[in-house]
Structure 1
Amino acid sequence: MNDCCVKGFKWDGQPQGHIETTSSGVSTYVVGSNPEAAILVIHDLFGWTFPNTRLLADAYAEGANATVYVPDFFGGEVLPSDILRKDPSEWGPLDLPGFTSRNSKEVREPEIFAFARDLRAKYQHVGAIGFCYGGWAVFRLGAKTSGRLVDCISTAHPSWLTKEEIENVDVPVQILAPEIDPVFTPELKDLCNRVIPSLGLDYDYQHFPALEHSFAVRGNKENEAELKGLVRAKNAAIYWFNQYLH
């Protein structure tokens, strides 16, 4: 992870969903009521309670006519949102390496897959979108070996994404990619743009010039360019899910 993964802005607005707890004890924000189509949102480092993520879930539920789920995949732990816009020297006792270690791929993948399996058993159509941390996870959910847990995936400025995960994807892929991103590097972008089309998959790669990592979920609405970008990213994801969930 990089400092860019924990910078940004908190948006105004009141999420409209409710909280459910699964039989396995996973707390989940849920919005929407479509009995046939669901969207799984895999959060960034600020976790399932982050208001921006929930507001985006509300927009997906309405715009894509789906029931949207934002589960807690950090076991009740979240990064404090008051570190947003702070210099790393002001983070105090924040242990980012320890946090990411406790929430590594190996630790969290089983529960992410279990949640997706539950959605697949309940809904005819399932999509997934991952922000930053969630990016690697949606690629794994859409892999050849996943058992077709999702019908399509979308990701904005993914983190921890590997060459193998890119090569193994097997469902339609959307990538919302800012120009400036030290995590989703130019090399990874180029790899995606070479490999995914060769797999015979529907592919939507959207470039956001001059914008930075985290813009789609933590962009500054007071900045005209960032506002335009985050709205475009939201609308692009809604269009993508409408294509594959209905």
Structure 2
Amino acid sequence: MSCPDCFRGSVHEGDPRGKVTHAYGLETYVVEPSNGQPPKGIVVLLPDGFGWEFVNLRLLADQYADMGGFKVYAPEFMNGRAMPLSTMESMKIVSSPVGILTKMQVSPTPCRHLFRVICAMVPFITYNWPSRAWPRVKGFFEQLRKEEGSSLPVGAAGFCWGGKQVILLAHGDTIDGRPLIDAGFTGHPSLLSIPGDIEKLKVPVSFAMGDHDAYLSVEQAENIKKIVEAKEESARGEVVVYPQAGHGFCVRADHKFAESTRQADEAAEQCVKWFNAHFGSAS
């Protein structure tokens, strides 16, 4: 299910300004534009493996809310079975260039980290496999569309694990005759079936990918681009490939490096611009 980069990266500093509430059956982080203006639409974040409590995701929700003028939800789709943050450091040790067997001959520490990764990954994969998670995700969006989404456009933005769910949401399921989402965005998605998942898209989706993504090759990105750009206008998508960017760059960029920060900021701008363009036509 996962490449090592799914669980590596940087934890960002900051204090999310939103609040936790209960929305559409799930505990949910919610944030609105800080200028007090009514939201233009609703964006739901579907997280990477570190889940809804990951500070990076919540800070990104705040950023989207202010940049785009959106109400942003980050629901608890994983029911407590996200990967713990300690996995990030363990994965860094386990997957460093020196082989794990060589390291274990020198010290037992890498073995402990490998065990920690395995113990965290098994329940994460078991509970959050796409087909098992999909009913939880779909149920949230069905309720959202029937209530707030009856008068406001709805978008979904997903990263890594959440990217697959965005693609499923964009396959055209409806409630009361309307699609579950009006537009989608995904950064470095995982678990895609290419070309099948992409050919089924009926809602416009914007993809942000890196050309150093260990999970999706440049050739696969080009294949996705060819398919989504050939769709009819109502479902036509886009693909932006970021040079030198790896898996996870939208959410877990290392801000010690200016280029990583720039790529993450540009991907956020891509997302906001996409939703603003499609929310206007959906309202």
Q: Do both proteins adopt the same fold according to a TM-score greater than 0.5, normalized to the shorter chain?
A: yes
2:190 aligned to 159, 179, 183, which one? Answer: 159
Quick check: 1:209 aligned with 2:243?
A: yes
- Measure the CA separation in 2 of the matches of 1:32 and 1:91: 40
Tell me the CA shift for residue 182 of structure 1.
Answer: 1.8
Q: Tell me whether 149-158 or 200-209 shows the greater mean CA deviation.
A: 200-209
Q: Could you say what secondary structure the match of 2:214 adopts?
A: coil
After superposition, residues 56-135 of structure 1 pair within 5 angstroms as 56-85=60-89, 86-88=92-94, 89=110, 90-94=113-117, 95=119, 96-121=121-146, 122-123=148-149, 124-135=152-163
After superposition, residues 160-239 of structure 1 pair within 5 angstroms as 160-163=191-194, 164-200=196-232, 201-239=235-273
CA RMSD of the aligned region, Å?
Answer: 1.7
Bigger Rg, structure 1 or 2? 2
One-letter code aligned to 1:117: E
Task: Assess, with a 3 A threshold, how the Cα gap between structure 1 residues 187 and 100 changes in structure 2: closer, same or farther.
Answer: farther
After superposition, residues 42-61 of structure 1 pair within 5 angstroms as 42-61=46-65
Tell me the CA shift for residue 69 of structure 1.
Answer: 0.5
- Measure the CA separation in 2 of the matches of 1:209 and 1:238: 20
Q: Deviations 1:33-53 (Å, cap 9, x if unpaired)?
A: 646610010000000000000
Tell me the CA shift for residue 20 of structure 1.
Answer: 0.9
1:40 aligned to 19, 37, 44, which one? Answer: 44
Where does structure 1 lack aligned partners over 5 or more consecutive residues? none
Residue 165 of structure 2 corresponds to which residue in structure 1?
137
Q: Percent identity?
A: 28
Where does structure 2 lack aligned partners over 5 or more consecutive residues? 95-109
Normalised by the length of structure 2, the TM-score is 0.82
- Measure the CA separation in 2 of the matches of 1:83 and 1:99: 12
Q: Tell me whether 87-96 or 45-54 shows the greater mean CA deviation.
A: 87-96
Tell me the CA shift for residue 149 of structure 1.
Answer: 0.7
- Measure the CA separation in 1 of the matches of 2:228 and 2:84: 36
One-letter code aligned to 1:224: A
Normalised by the length of structure 1, the TM-score is 0.93
How many residues are paired up? Answer: 245
Tell me the CA shift for residue 29 of structure 1.
Answer: 0.4
Q: Tell me whether 167-176 or 185-194 shows the greater mean CA deviation.
A: 185-194
One-letter code aligned to 1:215: F
Q: Name the structure with the higher helix share.
A: 2
